[in-house]
RNA sequence: GGCCCCGUAGUUCAGUUGGUUAGAACGCUUGCCUGUCACGCAAGAGGUCGACGGUUCGAGCCCGUUCGGGGUCGCCA
């Protein structure tokens, strides 16, 4: 007999069907038992009549297979129920659950416990909702970029040297040579632009060996990267992201309404995202709150204040912060035409958190070499990268979106770890 | 890594000025109940109060050390 997902049972009223799933809840009325059976699509009420007829031990989270009659029943929560005729226990919990996944709108357990029992905690619908949304974010990212002529690529995660010199790298032993986990696909996606692909994107892991231990940092995260050639300027890159986000949010509204409401989240609107030079943002929060910013940057409180300022004055939960100083950006950042101490770069803040970094890159070979030297780095260390710039590299730029950060902000989560299935942080390497 | 806060039942937490037998809710076990839907009712089990040391007649409570967790800052995206 073919298994029917619980969300399709209404199409099978009056038929005998096979359903499989987990016991979500048991209501023992003596002569009759009501089970709420949960599968990947939802839940259904299963009715067991006749007490000892089903000689099956039942506990929450038991994996079950049930054959029964689908009945239209006004007394059932969803209007239909399954009258069990045969029950087969597929797998019985070996231990009592460390927390209940069928109680209430939120899972009552600390983050540490949740991650220690990740496979179980993800059975809670609220936690599961986060990752359905995340999957749709990635889907929308892919679909949109493919339609815009981007090619999906996969670049190495084991590399010989770092990208930007700054961030800490995880060393790995690569046979007889030292190597590192890639902190970014930056070099490779630029090279592929120059390789004639023009427009590339990647959904891949990035690794940062920073010792940070905060609610917005992971040591392994998923980077939604894109890079595009033949741009007229950094505005083209911001325009692509603006359009991408508008379509992404629209996609979520259409496909994840249930998950969004289960999380109590509100999807943002995406209009024309304001673009504000860094110095202007710094001045605004200084004037409004007396907030001093670090030189050439915003600190976490500054990001929150700038977001609040833009939301109040421009009605946008998103804001591009532009024109970061050369000293605060990597060597490949394109200096601004108007002011060579600034760059054609941007960060995107969403609800008070940086979710994207992007910019135009230096495409001229000699200029790039000079920039590397100015940063105190050795061009010899970047030979394979520089080679791509020798033979007609077009003007280009791109960006990287932190998937977990975007997910976190869209879902209204307090900690970025909650937006990672199996987070890797300063203290956690398992599961 | 700095600073601040917190470690009490399986879980989330309360616990008064240091005082006798450490509580609640949910979960768990057993029994009753044929329309529940957070089912209900009755009974019950469950604690080295993170660990070690100290102060005290007496420590869950005060002090020190240590381990673990959370927040925040730094760094970073």
Residues A125-165: tens digit of each pLDDT: 999 999 999 999 999 999 999 999 999 999 999 998 755 55
Amino acid A148: pLDDT: 96
Which is it for the CA torsion A300, A302, A308, A313, positive or negative? negative
C1' of nucleotide B10: residue with nearest CA: A98
Please answer whether residues A138 and A224 qualify as being in contact, where contact means their C-beta atoms are separated by less than 8 angstroms. Answer: yes
d(CA A108, C1' B48) / Å: 26
Task: Please give residues of chain A from 263 to 292 whose alpha-adjacent beta carbon (CB) lies under 7 Å from any atom of strand B.
Answer: none
Q: CA-to-CA distance for A321 and A343, rounded, in angstroms?
A: 12
Burial classification of residue A195, based on how many CB atoms lie within 10 Å of its CB (0-12 exposed, 13-18 middle, 19 or more buried): middle
- DSSP β-ladder status, A151-152 and A63-72: unpaired
Amino acid A17: pLDDT: 96
Report if CB A212 to strand B is under 7 Å.
yes
Nucleotide minimizing C1' to CA distance for residue A114: B11
CATH 3.30.930.10: which residues of chain A?
125-419
pLDDT at A406 > cutoff 80: yes
d(CA A230, C1' B69) / Å: 50
Which parts of A108-233 fold into alpha helices (H)? 111-116, 118-121, 125-147, 186-192
Q: Which nucleotides of B are covered by protein (CB under 7 A)?
A: 1, 10-13, 26-29, 32-40, 68-77
Nucleotide minimizing C1' to CA distance for residue A74: B35
Nucleotide minimizing C1' to CA distance for residue A328: B76
Report if CB A354 to strand B is under 7 Å.
yes
Report if CB A110 to strand B is under 7 Å.
yes
Mean pLDDT over the full length of chain A: 91
Report if CB A28 to strand B is under 7 Å.
yes
Report if CB A214 to strand B is under 7 Å.
yes
Amino acid A376: pLDDT: 85
Report if CB A109 to strand B is under 7 Å.
yes
Q: What CATH number labels A125-419?
A: 3.30.930.10
d(CA A57, C1' B74) / Å: 55
Q: How confident is the model at residue A396 (pLDDT cuts 50, 70, 90)?
A: very high
Amino acid A51: pLDDT: 55
CATH 2.40.50.140: which residues of chain A?
6-89
pLDDT at A55 > cutoff 80: no
Token pair in block for residue A381: 């260390």
Angle at A210 between CA A209 and CA A211, to 5 degrees: 115
Q: Which of A381, A124, A136 lies closest to A247 in space, CA to CA?
A: A136
Report if CB A104 to strand B is under 7 Å.
yes
pLDDT at A291 > cutoff 90: no
Q: Which of A34, A331, A284 lies closest to A162 in space, CA to CA?
A: A331
Report if CB A208 to strand B is under 7 Å.
yes
Report, as an integer, the average pLDDT of A303-314.
Answer: 93
Which DSSP category does A396 fall into? E
pLDDT in tens, A91-133: 888 888 889 888 878 888 889 899 989 999 999 999 999 999 9
The DSSP annotation for A249-297 comes to HHHHHHH-HHHHHHTT--PPP-SS--EEEHHHHHHHHHHHH-----TTS
Quote helix, strand, coil % in chain A, to nearest 5: 35, 30, 40
Report if CB A79 to strand B is under 7 Å.
no
Report if CB A375 to strand B is under 7 Å.
no
pLDDT at A56 > cutoff 70: no
Amino acid A418: pLDDT: 93
Report, as an integer, the average pLDDT of A374-395.
Answer: 91
Which DSSP category does A200 fall into? E
Percent of chain A, pLDDT > 90? Answer: 71
Amino acid A295: pLDDT: 86
Q: How confident is the model at residue A337 (pLDDT cuts 50, 70, 90)?
A: confident
Residue A426: half-sphere exposure toward Cβ, Cα within 13 Å: 8
Q: CA-to-CA distance for A326 and A344, rounded, in angstroms?
A: 9
Please answer whether residues A137 and A407 qualify as being in contact, where contact means their C-beta atoms are separated by less than 8 angstroms. Answer: yes
- DSSP β-ladder status, A199-207 and A151-152: parallel
d(CA A96, C1' B45) / Å: 14
- Give the distance between the most distant pair of CA atoms in chain A: 84
Q: How confident is the model at residue A419 (pLDDT cuts 50, 70, 90)?
A: very high
Q: How confident is the model at residue A52 (pLDDT cuts 50, 70, 90)?
A: low
Q: May I ask the CATH class of domain A6-89? A: mainly beta
Q: What is the pTM of this model?
A: 0.93
Report if CB A113 to strand B is under 7 Å.
yes
Token pair in block for residue A65: 């297979």
pLDDT in tens, A62-83: 999 999 999 999 999 999 999 9
Amino acid A210: pLDDT: 83
Q: CA-to-CA distance for A212 and A214, rounded, in angstroms?
A: 6
Tell me whether 0.90 is exceeded by the ipTM: no
Residue A385: half-sphere exposure toward Cβ, Cα within 13 Å: 25
Q: How confident is the model at residue A3 (pLDDT cuts 50, 70, 90)?
A: very high
| Element spanning A48, H or E | strand A42-49
């Amino acid at each position: 007999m073919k298994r029917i997902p619980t969300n399709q049972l209404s199409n099978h009223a009056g038929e005998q069907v096979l359903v499989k799933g987990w016991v979500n809840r048991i209501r023992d009325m003596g002569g009759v038992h009501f089970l709420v059976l949960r599968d990947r699509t939802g839940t259904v009420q299963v009715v067991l009549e006749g007490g000892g007829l089903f000689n099956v031990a039942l506990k929450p989270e038991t994996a079950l297979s049930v054959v029964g009659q689908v009945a239209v029943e006004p007394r059932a929560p969803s209007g239909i129920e399954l009258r069990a005729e045969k029950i087969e226990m597929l797998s019985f919990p070996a231990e009592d659950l460390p927390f209940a996944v069928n109680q209430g709108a939120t899972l009552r357990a600390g983050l540490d416990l949740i991650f220690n029992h990740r496979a179980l905690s993800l059975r809670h619908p609220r936690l599961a909702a986060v990752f359905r949304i995340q999957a749709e974010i990635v889907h929308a990212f892919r679909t949109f970029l493919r339609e815009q002529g981007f090619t999906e690529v996969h670049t190495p995660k084991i590399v010989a040297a770092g990208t930007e010199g700054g961030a800490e790298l995880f060393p790995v032993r690569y046979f007889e040579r030292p190597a590192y986990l890639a902190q970014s696909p930056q070099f490779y996606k630029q090279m592929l632009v120059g390789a004639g692909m023009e427009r590339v994107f990647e959904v891949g892991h990035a690794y940062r060996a920073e010792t940070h231990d905060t609610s917005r940092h992971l040591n392994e995260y998923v980077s939604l990267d894109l890079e595009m050639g033949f741009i007229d300027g950094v505005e083209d890159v911001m325009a692509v992201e603006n359009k991408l986000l508008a379509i992404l949010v629209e996609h979520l509204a259409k496909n994840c309404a249930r998950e969004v409401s289960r999380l109590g989240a509100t999807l943002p609107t995406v209009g024309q995202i304001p673009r504000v030079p860094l110095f202007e943002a710094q001045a605004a929060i200084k004037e409004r709150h007396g907030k001093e910013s670090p030189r050439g940057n915003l600190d976490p409180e500054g990001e929150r204040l700038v977001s609040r300022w833009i939301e109040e004055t421009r009605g946008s939960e998103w804001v591009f912060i532009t024109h970061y100083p050369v000293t605060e950006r990597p060597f490949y950042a394109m200096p601004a035409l108007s002011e060579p101490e600034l760059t054609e770069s941007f960060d995107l803040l969403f609800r008070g958190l940086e979710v994207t970094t992007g910019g135009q890159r230096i495409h001229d070979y000699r200029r790039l070499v000079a920039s590397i030297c100015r940063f105190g780095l050795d061009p010899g260390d970047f030979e394979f990268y520089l080679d791509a710039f020798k033979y007609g590299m077009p003007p280009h730029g791109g960006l990287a979106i932190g998937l977990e950060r975007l997910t976190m902000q869209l879902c209204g989560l307090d900690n970025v770890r909650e937006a990672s299935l199996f987070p890797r942080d300063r203290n956690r390497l398992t599961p």
